[in-house]
Structure 1
Amino acid sequence: MAHVAEWTITEAAGRQHPVLVDRSLLGGLRVTVDRRRLDRFDQTPESDRYVTSLAGHVLTVVIPRVSNDLPTLHVDGKPVLGTETTLVAAAIDATGATVSGQDLLRHQLLQRRGSGGAWFYWVGGASILNTVLNAAGIQWGLAVGLGVTYLIDGMADYISDTVRTPIYAVIIDIAIAAGFLLIGRAARRGKLGWYAVGTFLYFLDGLLFLIAADLLGIAVHAIAIYGLISGWRAARSLKKVEAPAPALVA
Protein backbone atom coordinates (compact mmCIF):
# COMPACT_ATOMS: atom_id res chain seq x y z
CA MET A 1 0.00 0.00 0.00
CA ALA A 2 1.20 3.51 -0.83
CA HIS A 3 -0.14 6.57 0.97
CA VAL A 4 -1.91 9.02 -1.34
CA ALA A 5 -3.17 11.37 1.38
CA GLU A 6 -3.18 11.47 5.16
CA TRP A 7 -4.79 13.66 7.79
CA THR A 8 -4.91 13.67 11.58
CA ILE A 9 -8.14 14.75 13.22
CA THR A 10 -7.99 15.72 16.89
CA GLU A 11 -11.03 15.90 19.11
CA ALA A 12 -11.46 18.65 21.69
CA ALA A 13 -10.60 16.06 24.38
CA GLY A 14 -7.30 15.36 22.66
CA ARG A 15 -8.06 11.99 21.03
CA GLN A 16 -6.56 11.68 17.56
CA HIS A 17 -7.99 9.89 14.53
CA PRO A 18 -5.90 9.10 11.43
CA VAL A 19 -7.62 9.41 8.06
CA LEU A 20 -5.76 7.65 5.24
CA VAL A 21 -6.16 7.27 1.50
CA ASP A 22 -4.04 4.39 0.24
CA ARG A 23 -3.41 2.98 -3.22
CA SER A 24 -3.06 -0.77 -3.64
CA LEU A 25 -0.63 -2.53 -5.96
CA LEU A 26 -3.50 -3.02 -8.41
CA GLY A 27 -4.26 0.70 -8.45
CA GLY A 28 -7.40 0.71 -6.34
CA LEU A 29 -7.92 3.30 -3.60
CA ARG A 30 -8.91 2.60 -0.02
CA VAL A 31 -10.12 5.16 2.54
CA THR A 32 -9.81 4.37 6.23
CA VAL A 33 -10.60 6.18 9.48
CA ASP A 34 -8.99 4.67 12.58
CA ARG A 35 -8.02 1.69 10.38
CA ARG A 36 -11.70 1.11 9.57
CA ARG A 37 -12.35 0.98 5.86
CA LEU A 38 -15.08 3.25 4.51
CA ASP A 39 -17.46 2.24 1.75
CA ARG A 40 -18.04 4.68 -1.07
CA PHE A 41 -20.96 6.98 -0.29
CA ASP A 42 -21.68 8.08 -3.84
CA GLN A 43 -20.06 8.59 -7.22
CA THR A 44 -20.17 11.34 -9.85
CA PRO A 45 -18.31 11.70 -13.14
CA GLU A 46 -15.91 14.05 -11.34
CA SER A 47 -15.26 12.34 -8.00
CA ASP A 48 -16.00 9.64 -5.45
CA ARG A 49 -17.12 10.52 -1.92
CA TYR A 50 -16.49 8.56 1.26
CA VAL A 51 -18.47 9.71 4.28
CA THR A 52 -18.58 8.88 7.97
CA SER A 53 -19.46 10.54 11.26
CA LEU A 54 -16.96 11.30 14.00
CA ALA A 55 -17.63 12.94 17.36
CA GLY A 56 -20.79 14.59 16.10
CA HIS A 57 -19.27 15.81 12.82
CA VAL A 58 -19.57 14.65 9.21
CA LEU A 59 -16.27 13.75 7.53
CA THR A 60 -16.19 13.62 3.74
CA VAL A 61 -13.20 12.44 1.71
CA VAL A 62 -13.47 13.51 -1.93
CA ILE A 63 -11.32 11.64 -4.47
CA PRO A 64 -11.17 13.14 -7.98
CA ARG A 65 -11.80 10.69 -10.83
CA VAL A 66 -10.76 12.56 -13.95
CA SER A 67 -7.97 14.82 -12.73
CA ASN A 68 -4.63 14.37 -11.04
CA ASP A 69 -5.69 16.43 -8.03
CA LEU A 70 -5.08 14.97 -4.60
CA PRO A 71 -7.97 13.79 -2.40
CA THR A 72 -9.47 16.40 -0.09
CA LEU A 73 -11.01 16.13 3.37
CA HIS A 74 -14.04 18.13 4.46
CA VAL A 75 -15.43 18.47 7.97
CA ASP A 76 -19.08 19.54 8.06
CA GLY A 77 -18.72 20.75 4.49
CA LYS A 78 -15.62 22.87 5.12
CA PRO A 79 -12.34 21.83 3.47
CA VAL A 80 -9.42 20.96 5.74
CA LEU A 81 -6.34 22.99 4.88
CA GLY A 82 -3.18 21.07 5.67
CA THR A 83 -2.87 17.64 7.22
CA GLU A 84 -4.22 18.34 10.71
CA THR A 85 -7.42 19.77 12.13
CA THR A 86 -9.12 19.99 15.52
CA LEU A 87 -12.81 19.33 16.01
CA VAL A 88 -14.87 21.67 18.13
CA ALA A 89 -17.43 20.23 20.53
CA ALA A 90 -20.51 20.69 18.37
CA ALA A 91 -23.24 18.58 16.87
CA ILE A 92 -23.58 17.91 13.17
CA ASP A 93 -24.44 21.07 11.28
CA ALA A 94 -26.96 19.90 8.72
CA THR A 95 -26.97 23.26 6.97
CA GLY A 96 -23.21 23.59 6.58
CA ALA A 97 -22.31 20.02 5.70
CA THR A 98 -22.30 18.93 2.06
CA VAL A 99 -23.67 15.62 3.36
CA SER A 100 -26.37 15.94 6.02
CA GLY A 101 -26.71 13.70 9.03
CA GLN A 102 -29.91 12.32 7.47
CA ASP A 103 -28.04 11.39 4.28
CA LEU A 104 -25.30 9.72 6.28
CA LEU A 105 -27.81 7.73 8.34
CA ARG A 106 -29.56 6.60 5.17
CA HIS A 107 -26.24 5.50 3.66
CA GLN A 108 -25.30 3.52 6.77
CA LEU A 109 -28.68 1.80 6.86
CA LEU A 110 -28.39 0.95 3.17
CA GLN A 111 -24.99 -0.63 3.83
CA ARG A 112 -26.36 -2.69 6.72
CA ARG A 113 -29.40 -3.73 4.71
CA GLY A 114 -27.22 -4.83 1.83
CA SER A 115 -24.75 -6.66 4.04
CA GLY A 116 -27.55 -8.58 5.71
CA GLY A 117 -29.21 -9.44 2.42
CA ALA A 118 -25.89 -10.67 1.03
CA TRP A 119 -26.17 -13.63 3.39
CA PHE A 120 -28.94 -15.00 1.16
CA TYR A 121 -26.47 -14.99 -1.74
CA TRP A 122 -23.93 -16.86 0.38
CA VAL A 123 -26.59 -19.40 1.36
CA GLY A 124 -27.84 -19.92 -2.18
CA GLY A 125 -24.39 -20.05 -3.75
CA ALA A 126 -22.99 -22.40 -1.10
CA SER A 127 -26.01 -24.68 -1.44
CA ILE A 128 -25.52 -25.00 -5.20
CA LEU A 129 -21.83 -25.74 -4.69
CA ASN A 130 -22.64 -28.34 -2.02
CA THR A 131 -25.16 -29.99 -4.35
CA VAL A 132 -22.65 -30.24 -7.19
CA LEU A 133 -19.96 -31.64 -4.89
CA ASN A 134 -22.36 -34.16 -3.38
CA ALA A 135 -23.51 -35.27 -6.83
CA ALA A 136 -19.86 -35.79 -7.76
CA GLY A 137 -19.38 -38.01 -4.74
CA ILE A 138 -17.27 -35.50 -2.81
CA GLN A 139 -18.16 -35.59 0.88
CA TRP A 140 -17.35 -31.97 1.59
CA GLY A 141 -19.38 -28.79 1.71
CA LEU A 142 -19.82 -25.31 3.12
CA ALA A 143 -21.62 -25.09 6.47
CA VAL A 144 -23.45 -21.93 5.45
CA GLY A 145 -25.31 -23.91 2.80
CA LEU A 146 -28.79 -25.33 3.29
CA GLY A 147 -29.19 -28.53 5.28
CA VAL A 148 -32.43 -29.35 3.49
CA THR A 149 -30.51 -30.09 0.29
CA TYR A 150 -28.59 -32.85 2.10
CA LEU A 151 -31.91 -34.19 3.40
CA ILE A 152 -33.38 -34.23 -0.11
CA ASP A 153 -30.29 -35.93 -1.54
CA GLY A 154 -30.30 -38.55 1.23
CA MET A 155 -33.97 -39.36 0.74
CA ALA A 156 -33.52 -39.54 -3.05
CA ASP A 157 -30.54 -41.86 -2.68
CA TYR A 158 -32.56 -44.11 -0.37
CA ILE A 159 -35.62 -44.20 -2.63
CA SER A 160 -33.66 -44.70 -5.86
CA ASP A 161 -31.12 -47.06 -4.28
CA THR A 162 -28.32 -45.60 -6.41
CA VAL A 163 -24.74 -44.59 -5.67
CA ARG A 164 -24.97 -41.17 -7.27
CA THR A 165 -27.57 -38.54 -6.43
CA PRO A 166 -30.53 -38.75 -8.85
CA ILE A 167 -30.80 -35.87 -11.27
CA TYR A 168 -34.27 -34.91 -10.02
CA ALA A 169 -32.86 -34.36 -6.54
CA VAL A 170 -30.13 -32.12 -7.97
CA ILE A 171 -32.77 -30.10 -9.83
CA ILE A 172 -34.84 -29.68 -6.64
CA ASP A 173 -31.74 -28.62 -4.69
CA ILE A 174 -30.77 -26.00 -7.27
CA ALA A 175 -34.36 -24.70 -7.45
CA ILE A 176 -34.44 -24.21 -3.66
CA ALA A 177 -31.02 -22.54 -3.69
CA ALA A 178 -32.11 -20.30 -6.56
CA GLY A 179 -35.12 -19.31 -4.47
CA PHE A 180 -32.77 -18.02 -1.76
CA LEU A 181 -30.85 -16.07 -4.39
CA LEU A 182 -34.10 -14.40 -5.48
CA ILE A 183 -35.01 -13.71 -1.86
CA GLY A 184 -31.60 -12.08 -1.45
CA ARG A 185 -32.28 -9.86 -4.44
CA ALA A 186 -35.61 -8.79 -2.95
CA ALA A 187 -34.10 -8.29 0.52
CA ARG A 188 -31.33 -6.03 -0.78
CA ARG A 189 -34.06 -3.95 -2.43
CA GLY A 190 -35.79 -3.46 0.90
CA LYS A 191 -38.66 -5.96 0.62
CA LEU A 192 -39.27 -6.52 4.34
CA GLY A 193 -41.72 -9.37 3.82
CA TRP A 194 -39.31 -11.45 1.74
CA TYR A 195 -36.48 -10.54 4.13
CA ALA A 196 -38.50 -11.98 7.04
CA VAL A 197 -39.64 -15.07 5.11
CA GLY A 198 -36.11 -15.90 4.02
CA THR A 199 -34.76 -15.46 7.55
CA PHE A 200 -37.48 -17.70 9.00
CA LEU A 201 -36.86 -20.40 6.38
CA TYR A 202 -33.14 -20.33 7.10
CA PHE A 203 -33.90 -20.61 10.83
CA LEU A 204 -35.99 -23.72 10.13
CA ASP A 205 -33.12 -25.08 8.05
CA GLY A 206 -30.80 -24.54 11.00
CA LEU A 207 -32.99 -26.87 13.07
CA LEU A 208 -31.85 -29.72 10.82
CA PHE A 209 -28.26 -29.09 11.90
CA LEU A 210 -29.47 -28.95 15.51
CA ILE A 211 -31.15 -32.34 15.15
CA ALA A 212 -28.00 -33.73 13.53
CA ALA A 213 -25.87 -32.18 16.32
CA ASP A 214 -23.63 -30.56 13.68
CA LEU A 215 -21.93 -27.93 15.82
CA LEU A 216 -20.21 -26.18 12.91
CA GLY A 217 -23.45 -25.95 10.96
CA ILE A 218 -25.29 -24.66 14.03
CA ALA A 219 -22.65 -21.98 14.66
CA VAL A 220 -22.53 -20.79 11.06
CA HIS A 221 -26.31 -20.70 10.80
CA ALA A 222 -26.49 -18.68 14.02
CA ILE A 223 -23.98 -16.15 12.67
CA ALA A 224 -25.86 -15.89 9.39
CA ILE A 225 -29.22 -15.47 11.12
CA TYR A 226 -27.77 -12.71 13.27
CA GLY A 227 -26.57 -10.94 10.11
CA LEU A 228 -29.96 -11.42 8.45
CA ILE A 229 -31.85 -10.03 11.44
CA SER A 230 -29.48 -7.07 11.60
CA GLY A 231 -30.08 -6.41 7.91
CA TRP A 232 -33.85 -6.70 8.32
CA ARG A 233 -33.81 -4.22 11.21
CA ALA A 234 -31.77 -1.81 9.10
CA ALA A 235 -34.25 -2.21 6.23
CA ARG A 236 -37.13 -1.45 8.59
CA SER A 237 -35.35 1.62 9.99
CA LEU A 238 -34.63 2.78 6.45
CA LYS A 239 -38.33 2.63 5.63
CA LYS A 240 -38.99 5.01 8.53
CA VAL A 241 -36.16 7.35 7.49
CA GLU A 242 -37.39 7.50 3.88
CA ALA A 243 -41.06 7.89 4.85
CA PRO A 244 -42.35 11.36 3.97
CA ALA A 245 -43.09 13.63 6.91
CA PRO A 246 -46.83 13.96 7.66
CA ALA A 247 -48.40 17.11 6.27
CA LEU A 248 -49.38 19.74 8.78
CA VAL A 249 -53.06 20.56 8.82
CA ALA A 250 -53.82 24.21 9.38
Structure 2
Amino acid sequence: MYLDGEDDLRPMAHLAEWIVHETSGKRHQLAVGRGLFGLRVTVDRRILQRFDQTPDADRYVASVAGHVLTVTVPRASHDQPTLAVDGRVVLGSETTLTPPEAGATAATPTTLTGEDLARYQLLQRRNAGGTWFYWIGGASILNSLLYAAGSQWGLVVGLGFTYLIDGFATDLSGTVRTPIYAFVIDIVLAGSVLLIGRAARRGKLAWYAAGMAFYLLDGLLFIVVQDFLGIAVHGFALYRLWGGWRAGRALRRIENVALVAAT
Protein backbone atom coordinates (compact mmCIF):
# COMPACT_ATOMS: atom_id res chain seq x y z
CA MET A 1 0.00 0.00 0.00
CA TYR A 2 1.24 3.48 -0.85
CA LEU A 3 0.18 6.65 0.90
CA ASP A 4 -0.13 8.46 -2.39
CA GLY A 5 1.18 8.34 -5.92
CA GLU A 6 0.68 7.59 -9.58
CA ASP A 7 2.48 5.57 -12.21
CA ASP A 8 5.74 7.14 -13.34
CA LEU A 9 7.05 6.13 -16.76
CA ARG A 10 9.25 9.18 -17.37
CA PRO A 11 13.04 8.88 -17.40
CA MET A 12 14.98 10.52 -14.60
CA ALA A 13 18.58 10.79 -13.38
CA HIS A 14 18.89 8.63 -10.27
CA LEU A 15 20.36 10.17 -7.12
CA ALA A 16 19.81 7.10 -4.94
CA GLU A 17 18.27 3.65 -5.30
CA TRP A 18 17.42 0.78 -2.95
CA ILE A 19 16.06 -2.74 -3.33
CA VAL A 20 13.74 -3.89 -0.53
CA HIS A 21 13.07 -7.63 -0.21
CA GLU A 22 10.06 -9.15 1.51
CA THR A 23 10.46 -12.49 3.30
CA SER A 24 8.21 -13.98 0.61
CA GLY A 25 10.83 -13.11 -2.00
CA LYS A 26 8.99 -10.15 -3.51
CA ARG A 27 11.21 -7.20 -4.42
CA HIS A 28 10.46 -3.48 -4.29
CA GLN A 29 12.54 -0.77 -5.90
CA LEU A 30 12.82 2.69 -4.36
CA ALA A 31 14.48 5.47 -6.30
CA VAL A 32 15.21 9.15 -5.86
CA GLY A 33 15.84 11.04 -9.06
CA ARG A 34 15.66 14.35 -10.80
CA GLY A 35 13.74 14.78 -14.03
CA LEU A 36 12.36 17.56 -16.18
CA PHE A 37 9.80 18.48 -13.53
CA GLY A 38 12.09 18.40 -10.52
CA LEU A 39 12.76 15.87 -7.77
CA ARG A 40 10.83 12.59 -7.74
CA VAL A 41 10.73 9.71 -5.29
CA THR A 42 9.25 6.46 -6.58
CA VAL A 43 8.38 3.02 -5.22
CA ASP A 44 8.00 0.39 -7.94
CA ARG A 45 7.62 3.21 -10.49
CA ARG A 46 4.86 4.89 -8.48
CA ILE A 47 5.45 8.50 -7.53
CA LEU A 48 5.32 9.34 -3.83
CA GLN A 49 3.98 12.71 -2.77
CA ARG A 50 6.02 14.61 -0.20
CA PHE A 51 4.97 13.62 3.32
CA ASP A 52 6.35 16.66 5.12
CA GLN A 53 9.26 19.07 5.02
CA THR A 54 11.71 20.79 7.33
CA PRO A 55 14.23 23.55 6.64
CA ASP A 56 16.84 20.83 6.04
CA ALA A 57 15.06 18.00 4.23
CA ASP A 58 11.89 16.58 2.68
CA ARG A 59 10.38 13.24 3.71
CA TYR A 60 8.50 10.74 1.56
CA VAL A 61 6.65 7.81 3.12
CA ALA A 62 5.29 4.49 1.86
CA SER A 63 3.85 1.44 3.60
CA VAL A 64 5.06 -1.91 2.26
CA ALA A 65 4.03 -5.27 3.75
CA GLY A 66 3.16 -3.63 7.06
CA HIS A 67 6.46 -1.74 7.29
CA VAL A 68 6.89 2.03 7.08
CA LEU A 69 9.53 3.13 4.56
CA THR A 70 10.75 6.70 4.95
CA VAL A 71 12.93 8.38 2.34
CA THR A 72 14.62 11.57 3.55
CA VAL A 73 15.98 13.89 0.87
CA PRO A 74 18.28 16.65 2.21
CA ARG A 75 17.95 20.12 0.74
CA ALA A 76 21.73 20.42 0.43
CA SER A 77 22.76 19.07 -2.96
CA HIS A 78 25.95 17.43 -1.64
CA ASP A 79 24.09 15.28 0.93
CA GLN A 80 22.73 11.89 -0.12
CA PRO A 81 19.12 10.75 0.41
CA THR A 82 18.58 8.10 3.08
CA LEU A 83 16.09 5.27 3.54
CA ALA A 84 14.72 4.14 6.90
CA VAL A 85 12.57 1.07 7.52
CA ASP A 86 10.41 1.33 10.64
CA GLY A 87 12.69 4.08 11.88
CA ARG A 88 15.96 2.22 11.26
CA VAL A 89 18.30 3.71 8.69
CA VAL A 90 19.26 1.30 5.89
CA LEU A 91 23.00 0.99 5.32
CA GLY A 92 23.73 -0.02 1.75
CA SER A 93 21.50 -0.37 -1.29
CA GLU A 94 19.54 -3.49 -0.26
CA THR A 95 17.57 -4.58 2.79
CA THR A 96 15.16 -7.34 3.80
CA LEU A 97 11.92 -6.69 5.64
CA THR A 98 11.73 -8.81 8.79
CA PRO A 99 9.13 -8.92 11.57
CA PRO A 100 10.18 -6.66 14.46
CA GLU A 101 11.49 -8.40 17.55
CA ALA A 102 9.38 -8.24 20.68
CA GLY A 103 10.19 -5.13 22.67
CA ALA A 104 12.45 -3.75 19.94
CA THR A 105 12.55 0.01 19.51
CA ALA A 106 13.63 2.17 16.62
CA ALA A 107 17.34 2.88 16.45
CA THR A 108 16.85 6.42 15.17
CA PRO A 109 14.39 9.24 15.79
CA THR A 110 12.88 8.96 12.29
CA THR A 111 9.85 6.92 13.40
CA LEU A 112 6.57 8.49 12.37
CA THR A 113 4.37 9.87 15.11
CA GLY A 114 0.69 10.77 15.32
CA GLU A 115 1.69 14.39 14.80
CA ASP A 116 3.50 13.42 11.60
CA LEU A 117 0.38 11.72 10.27
CA ALA A 118 -1.75 14.73 11.22
CA ARG A 119 0.64 17.02 9.36
CA TYR A 120 0.50 14.77 6.32
CA GLN A 121 -3.30 14.74 6.27
CA LEU A 122 -3.46 18.52 6.66
CA LEU A 123 -0.89 18.97 3.91
CA GLN A 124 -2.93 16.79 1.55
CA ARG A 125 -6.13 18.71 2.35
CA ARG A 126 -4.40 22.06 1.85
CA ASN A 127 -2.98 21.00 -1.50
CA ALA A 128 -6.27 19.45 -2.62
CA GLY A 129 -8.03 22.74 -1.93
CA GLY A 130 -5.32 24.74 -3.69
CA THR A 131 -5.67 22.53 -6.77
CA TRP A 132 -9.05 24.15 -7.40
CA PHE A 133 -7.23 27.32 -8.45
CA TYR A 134 -5.67 25.28 -11.25
CA TRP A 135 -9.12 24.09 -12.36
CA ILE A 136 -10.44 27.65 -12.26
CA GLY A 137 -7.51 29.13 -14.19
CA GLY A 138 -7.44 26.34 -16.77
CA ALA A 139 -11.20 26.47 -17.31
CA SER A 140 -11.02 30.25 -17.76
CA ILE A 141 -8.42 29.94 -20.53
CA LEU A 142 -10.50 27.25 -22.24
CA ASN A 143 -13.63 29.39 -21.99
CA SER A 144 -11.84 32.33 -23.60
CA LEU A 145 -10.74 30.13 -26.50
CA LEU A 146 -14.25 28.76 -26.94
CA TYR A 147 -15.77 32.25 -26.84
CA ALA A 148 -13.27 33.47 -29.43
CA ALA A 149 -14.25 30.53 -31.64
CA GLY A 150 -17.90 31.55 -31.41
CA SER A 151 -18.97 28.68 -29.17
CA GLN A 152 -21.77 29.17 -26.66
CA TRP A 153 -20.42 26.42 -24.43
CA GLY A 154 -18.10 26.85 -21.49
CA LEU A 155 -17.11 25.52 -18.07
CA VAL A 156 -18.98 27.26 -15.25
CA VAL A 157 -16.08 26.74 -12.84
CA GLY A 158 -14.14 29.31 -14.89
CA LEU A 159 -14.06 33.03 -14.19
CA GLY A 160 -17.11 35.10 -15.02
CA PHE A 161 -14.86 38.14 -15.40
CA THR A 162 -13.41 36.72 -18.62
CA TYR A 163 -16.90 36.50 -20.14
CA LEU A 164 -17.60 40.06 -19.02
CA ILE A 165 -14.37 41.36 -20.55
CA ASP A 166 -14.88 39.46 -23.81
CA GLY A 167 -18.48 40.65 -24.12
CA PHE A 168 -17.62 44.32 -23.56
CA ALA A 169 -14.62 44.18 -25.88
CA THR A 170 -16.62 42.51 -28.65
CA ASP A 171 -19.41 45.09 -28.38
CA LEU A 172 -16.94 48.00 -28.39
CA SER A 173 -15.06 46.68 -31.40
CA GLY A 174 -18.23 45.89 -33.34
CA THR A 175 -16.84 42.54 -34.49
CA VAL A 176 -17.87 38.95 -33.94
CA ARG A 177 -14.37 37.97 -32.87
CA THR A 178 -12.82 38.62 -29.47
CA PRO A 179 -10.24 41.42 -29.80
CA ILE A 180 -6.66 40.43 -29.11
CA TYR A 181 -6.33 42.80 -26.16
CA ALA A 182 -9.35 41.21 -24.47
CA PHE A 183 -7.87 37.75 -24.90
CA VAL A 184 -4.57 38.99 -23.42
CA ILE A 185 -6.44 40.34 -20.38
CA ASP A 186 -8.18 36.96 -20.03
CA ILE A 187 -4.84 35.16 -20.07
CA VAL A 188 -3.42 37.55 -17.47
CA LEU A 189 -6.39 36.97 -15.14
CA ALA A 190 -6.37 33.20 -15.61
CA GLY A 191 -2.59 33.07 -15.28
CA SER A 192 -2.80 35.03 -12.03
CA VAL A 193 -5.23 32.44 -10.67
CA LEU A 194 -2.81 29.66 -11.66
CA LEU A 195 0.02 31.45 -9.85
CA ILE A 196 -2.19 31.86 -6.79
CA GLY A 197 -2.81 28.12 -6.91
CA ARG A 198 0.93 27.50 -6.94
CA ALA A 199 1.39 29.81 -3.95
CA ALA A 200 -1.54 28.21 -2.11
CA ARG A 201 -0.08 24.72 -2.49
CA ARG A 202 3.20 26.07 -1.09
CA GLY A 203 1.46 27.29 2.06
CA LYS A 204 1.18 31.01 1.24
CA LEU A 205 -2.06 31.51 3.14
CA ALA A 206 -2.34 35.24 2.39
CA TRP A 207 -2.38 34.52 -1.35
CA TYR A 208 -4.74 31.62 -0.68
CA ALA A 209 -7.20 33.98 1.03
CA ALA A 210 -6.79 36.63 -1.67
CA GLY A 211 -7.62 34.05 -4.33
CA MET A 212 -10.76 32.99 -2.47
CA ALA A 213 -11.87 36.61 -2.11
CA PHE A 214 -11.36 37.20 -5.83
CA TYR A 215 -13.33 34.07 -6.74
CA LEU A 216 -16.11 35.08 -4.33
CA LEU A 217 -16.30 38.45 -6.08
CA ASP A 218 -16.37 36.63 -9.41
CA GLY A 219 -19.28 34.54 -8.17
CA LEU A 220 -21.33 37.69 -7.61
CA LEU A 221 -21.48 38.11 -11.39
CA PHE A 222 -23.35 34.81 -11.66
CA ILE A 223 -25.79 36.01 -8.99
CA VAL A 224 -26.44 39.20 -10.97
CA VAL A 225 -27.24 37.27 -14.16
CA GLN A 226 -29.07 34.56 -12.17
CA ASP A 227 -26.96 31.72 -13.52
CA PHE A 228 -27.88 29.16 -10.88
CA LEU A 229 -25.57 26.45 -12.17
CA GLY A 230 -22.66 28.89 -12.05
CA ILE A 231 -23.66 29.94 -8.54
CA ALA A 232 -23.76 26.32 -7.38
CA VAL A 233 -20.38 25.43 -8.92
CA HIS A 234 -18.74 28.58 -7.55
CA GLY A 235 -20.19 27.81 -4.13
CA PHE A 236 -18.85 24.25 -4.18
CA ALA A 237 -15.42 25.41 -5.35
CA LEU A 238 -15.30 28.04 -2.61
CA TYR A 239 -16.26 25.38 -0.06
CA ARG A 240 -13.33 23.21 -1.16
CA LEU A 241 -10.99 26.20 -1.20
CA TRP A 242 -12.11 27.18 2.29
CA GLY A 243 -11.45 23.65 3.55
CA GLY A 244 -7.96 23.74 2.07
CA TRP A 245 -7.23 27.14 3.60
CA ARG A 246 -8.37 25.97 7.04
CA ALA A 247 -6.15 22.90 6.73
CA GLY A 248 -3.23 25.14 5.79
CA ARG A 249 -3.84 27.34 8.81
CA ALA A 250 -3.99 24.31 11.13
CA LEU A 251 -0.79 22.97 9.57
CA ARG A 252 0.96 26.27 10.17
CA ARG A 253 -0.06 26.19 13.84
CA ILE A 254 1.46 22.72 14.24
CA GLU A 255 4.66 23.80 12.50
CA ASN A 256 4.93 26.95 14.64
CA VAL A 257 4.52 24.90 17.83
CA ALA A 258 7.22 22.50 16.61
CA LEU A 259 9.58 25.40 15.88
CA VAL A 260 9.01 26.89 19.35
CA ALA A 261 9.60 23.49 20.98
CA ALA A 262 12.84 23.06 19.03
CA THR A 263 14.27 26.39 20.23
Q: TM-score range by the shorter chain?
A: 0.5 to 0.7
In the alignment, is residue 139 of structure 1 matched against residue 152 of structure 2?
yes
SS of the residue 2:66 aligns to = strand
Distance 1:142 1:230 in 2: 22
Segments of 5+ residues of structure 2 without an aligned counterpart are 6-15, 21-26, 32-42, 45-62, 69-85, 88-96, 100-107
Deviations 1:116-137 (CA, angstroms, capped at 9, x unpaired) = 1101111000000000110011
- Secondary structure of the equivalent of 1:65? strand
8 A contact 1:106–1:238 mirrored in 2: yes
Alpha-carbon distance in 2 for matches of 1:209, 1:80:
60
Write the mapping of 1:119-134 to structure 2, written as runs, cut at 5 A: 119-134=132-147
Taking the aligned partners of 1:228 and 1:125, their CA distance within structure 2 comes to 16
Structure 1 segments unaligned to the other structure (5+ residues): 1-20, 22-30, 32-37, 49-61, 82-94
What is residue 131 of structure 2 aligned with on the other side?
118
> Is residue 245 from structure 1 mapped to residue 238 from structure 2 by the alignment?
no
**CA apart distance, 1:210:** 1.1
User: Percent of aligned positions with the same letter in both sequences?
Assistant: 56
Deviation at 1:247, TM superposition (A): 7.5
1:46 aligns with one of 13, 18, 28: 18
Q: Deviations over 1:132-169 (max 9, x none)?
A: 11001111111110000000011111111111111111
Q: 1:193 corresponds to which letter in structure 2? A: A
Structure 1 residues 155 and 241: CA distance shift in structure 2, 3 A: same
Which residue of 2 is the match for residue 168 of structure 1?
181
Q: How many residues align?
A: 183
- Judging changes above 3 Å, is the alpha-carbon distance between structure 1 residues 158 and 245 closer, same or farther for their aligned structure 2 residues? same
Task: Find the counterpart in structure 2 of residue 72 from structure 1.
Answer: 65
Q: 1:71, CA displacement in angstroms?
A: 3.6
Q: Distance in 2 between matches of 1:163 and 1:80?
A: 71
Can you list the C-alpha shifts for 1:42-96, whole angstroms capped at 9, x where unaligned? xx84389xxxxxxxxxxxxx9643799x941148x59896xxxxxxxxxxxxx99
Give, in whole Å, the separation in 2 of the partners of 1:247 and 1:164: 60
Change (3 A) 1:63 1:213: farther
TM-score, scaled relative to structure 1? 0.65
TM-score of the superposition, structure 2-length normalised? Answer: 0.62
* Cross-structure match for 1:150: 163
Change (3 A) 1:162 1:46: same
